[in-house]
Structure 1
Amino acid sequence: MTLAHAMNTKTQAASKIKVLCVDDSALVRSLMTEIINSQPDMHVCATAPDPLVARELIKLHNPDVLTLDVEMPRMDGLDFLEKLMRLRPMPVVMVSSLTERGNEITLRALELGAVDFVTKPKVGIRDGMLDYAEKLADKVRAASRARVKQTTHAPSAPASATAHKPAPHFNNPLVSTEKLVIVGASTGGTEAIREVLMPLPPDAPAVLIAQHMPPGFTKSFAQRLNGLCRITVKEAEHGERVLPGHAYIAPGHAHLVLARSGANYVAHLSDAPPVNRHRPSVDVLFRSAAQHAGKNAIGVILTGMGRDGAAGLLEMQQAGAYTLAQDEASCVVFGMPREAIAMGGASEIAPLSEMSRRVMARLASMGERVQRV
């Protein structure tokens, strides 16, 4: 090997995303290593059976991304994550089990600052994990580019619930019955959606949400938000009427589609093939809103990897809807909003902290126009 070739090889290795895998299962550690090392732009720099070993390996290898099992011996994954995000914040992808308890713990991990999560199948672990190798690699890739903030304390539901100044109630009922807010998000979206929904008043227009999330987690996510928000938050059901004061989250197994039944909006669920590799897809929801709500809708695209929702947001805008995109500084991953902005589909760009206020201000202006008519 020539000196130039050796130096080039070393440079390529240094430019790869360094991943530290933490899991008490030797099989999972081996599979994660196999999947990640098969990618041209990343490699596993080390593995650890528990957080105490991981702590030393973080100091030694300075990884770009950590994959962290939820339930481990010697130290719980959540306890470790909380300490990590307070003392040495870094991108973390949680590895969760497909159980009800696993869902709750994973959602708590996202609150604590984890960027994203992947799931371990209950049976057939090897085949199951290899089946979504590409999705795992995408999540690691997105996490390596994520903006991670240092936390000063562990957020809790009551504290979060009181942190938002409530938005005013609507005086014009036509605004809440005719208007809709349509939201799409992916990586980092669970916390972003919470930030958008919590300030909304009980009489807010209906909100329809497509968040990239696997089956099983969306119901737990909706229940968690329902306990925090003044509006009712639920997982969408096929054929149900879309009502003011409610937010409907697309189930992890289906596209959420807005439809009409006479004068009423109705939620439809579709098992059509994935769009942009996602089901639920943000584009599918946005396009249905463009078709059936037009200028009565406000479209909001939040943090997320990829381009899902960008074309749909443009279609909403072209149909007369007002559209907002989350700004780069407040995004965990500035992928979906960036693509929407680049296509010209965003009427306005706003930081996450301002998103609810901007939406409410736009709705208020719609109400003024209704009253003038």
Structure 2
Amino acid sequence: MGKPIKVLVVDDSALVRQTLIEILKSDPDITVVGAAADPLAAAEKLREVVPDVITLDIEMPRMDGLTFLRKLMSQHPIPVVICSSLAEEGDETTFRALEYGAVEIITKPKVGTKQFLEESRIRIIDAVRAAAQAKVRTMTGGATLKVAPKLDADVILAKATPGTPNFRTTEKVVLVGASTGGTEALLTFLQALPLDCPAIAVVQHMPEHFTAAFAKRLDGICRIHVKEAADNDTLLRGQALIAPGSKHMLLKRSGTRYHVEVKDGPLVSRHRPSVDVLFRSGARYAGKNAVGVIMTGMGDDGAKGMREMFDAGAYNIAQDEASCVVFGMPQEAIKHGGVNKVMPLTAIAAEIVRVCKD
């Protein structure tokens, strides 16, 4: 095993700091090198130790997290994971944190059921792991980290009604998966699409409630319509549906109409929503009429599903390493043999338009 990931925890709540420390210490590949109650105390800690990752709250005394983040990224860039209750509300402040250079946004852990706490632990640890591998990191090297056992998309798809659609259609549908770095990647991609682009369904790993604000923000910037998906929403040309945080989204088909099913379920490939769930449903219900896109992110969510889409005749695109914040998800999809083309983020929209021409 390589060197453990060194983490500095910054939060004004003593209870949250202790909870985060306990969660992070439960992973053998992570070590907590310090904790601070506010950014000024964190600055003092940084004189003593240089962490690989900082977890940072936004609302704190003496100096807010955003101000500290801007100073940090301009003077001594270190990967930052925002851990804030504002993420639950999809507050505009959290979007500014991403613009200022934060790698991930997660919600604060809460006391709840055993399942809730375990899912919270998985999300926090995965966010720190992803941040440690992000390109913003100034230190070289990095260990290959162990991944805990995970469920695959069968736990969701097995409950779906199987079968081949009765009506033929040539209408294309675009299925997109992204994680770490994906919020800015999706902005670049969706902004470049024309008004008459094919229907798009997106899974982006992000907290519950955050996706509604994210979709609203994109809708105000992009030419196409963007909304958080609701169960049974029809996929329409010139529109992108974003899977709700903490819900799985499946592609379904009724006659010639594509629509989405939004449902609860366990974490799949350590995530909910899961890219694998969307992609594997795409292989089942769209086949050769599907176009898959796998973007920046850590881990392998989407790799199996993209291969199934490929085998069903879909055309699949992977974002290239140079334009990814973390190349993990595209790299795994390529390794699984499910990718037709690897290309820069800025070229993907034009390729979608080309492929989907009648």
Query: TM class, shorter-chain normalised?
Result: 0.7 to 0.9
Choose the corresponding residue for 1:73, options 61, 72, 86.
Answer: 61
Are residues 1:289 and 2:282 paired? yes
Matched residues in 2 for 1:136 and 1:35: separation? 8
TM-score norm. by structure 2 comes to 0.85
Following TM superposition, by how much is the alpha carbon of 1:98 offset from its aligned partner in structure 2, in angstroms? Answer: 5.2
Residues 334-353 of structure 1 aligned to structure 2 (within 5 Å)? 334-353=327-346
Figure out how many residues of one structure are paired with residues of the other and give that number.
Answer: 327
Q: 2:102 aligns with which of 114, 119, 123?
A: 114
How far apart are residue 125 of structure 1 and its match?
12
Shift of 1:199: 0.9
Is the partner of 1:237 in helix, strand or coil?
A: coil
Once the two structures are superposed, the pairs formed by residues 55-134 of structure 1 within 5 Å of their partners are 55-97=43-85, 103-120=91-108, 132-134=120-122
1:22-41 matched pairs, under 5 angstroms: 22-41=10-29
Residue ranges of structure 1 left out of the alignment (5+ in a row) = 1-11, 151-176
For 1:193, the aligned partner's letter is L
1:361 and 2:357 equivalent? no
Q: 2:129 aligns with which of 109, 128, 141?
A: 141
Structure showing greater Rg? 1
Following superposition, the deviation at residue 253 of structure 1 comes to: 2.7
Identical pairs, percent: 56
Query: Which one is further off, 183-192 or 78-87?
Result: 78-87
Change (3 A) 1:133 1:255: closer
Deviation, structure 1 residue 37: 2.3
Distance in 1, Cα, partners of 2:113 & 2:9: 16
Is 1:206 paired with 2:199? yes
Question: In the TM superposition, what is the alpha-carbon distance from 1:102 to its structure 2 partner?
Answer: 5.5
Unaligned runs of 5+ in 2: 139-169
Q: How far apart, in 1, do the equivalents of 2:58 and 2:117 lie?
A: 16
Q: Which has the higher contact order (CA 8 A, sep 6+)?
A: 2
More helix by share: 1
Please list the CA deviations of residues 315-368 of structure 1 after superposition, one character each: whole Å capped at 9, or x if unmatched: 1111211111111222112111111000111101112222222222323xxx2x
2:322 to 314, 324, 329: 329
Deviation of residue 187 (structure 1)?
Answer: 1.6
Alignment of 1:148-163 (within 5 A): 148=136
Report the Cα offset of residue 100 of structure 1. Answer: 6.0
Cα RMSD after superposing both structures: 2.4
- Distance of 2:303 and 2:61 partners within structure 1: 43
Aligned position for 1:172? none
